[in-house]
Amino acid sequence: MARTIHVHVSIEWLLRAERFGGFANSFRDSAGRPIPLNRVRKLLTDLLDSGVKVLPIGEPCDGFDDVTGCPGHERPEDMPPRKQIELMAALLKRKNEGELL
């Protein structure tokens, strides 16, 4: 069996990132509007203070932990990690469009 591990991002890394402003458009409220950068920093700081260390990229998987992230999931050898491939393609597209660092 192969293993799939879903991607997550460190809140500390987000807060330290030199070009943090590039992530501001990635955070949206329930109506889909971008959250202002100062509000994003406050939300991330509050999460970190409450013990949350990582955020999932996309929907959290079964077993996702706020401190360690994805625990990993068994999958058959012949089944490609489709979600990971789709995620990487989306991230590369966003990077090429200048949305990511």
Domain regions of the chain by residue span: 2-96
Q: pLDDT category, 93, cuts 50, 70, 90? A: confident
pTM recorded for the entire structure: 0.64
Q: Is 9 exposed, middle or buried (0-12, 13-18, 19+ CB in 10 A)?
A: middle
| Calpha distance 63→27 (Å, rounded) | 23
pLDDT tens digits, 14-33:
888 756 566 666 788 888 88
pLDDT computed for residue 94 by the predictor: 72
Residue predicted with more confidence, 79 or 30 = 30
Count of other CB atoms within 10 angstroms of residue 14: 19
| Calpha distance 48→63 (Å, rounded) | 20
Residue length of the chain: 101
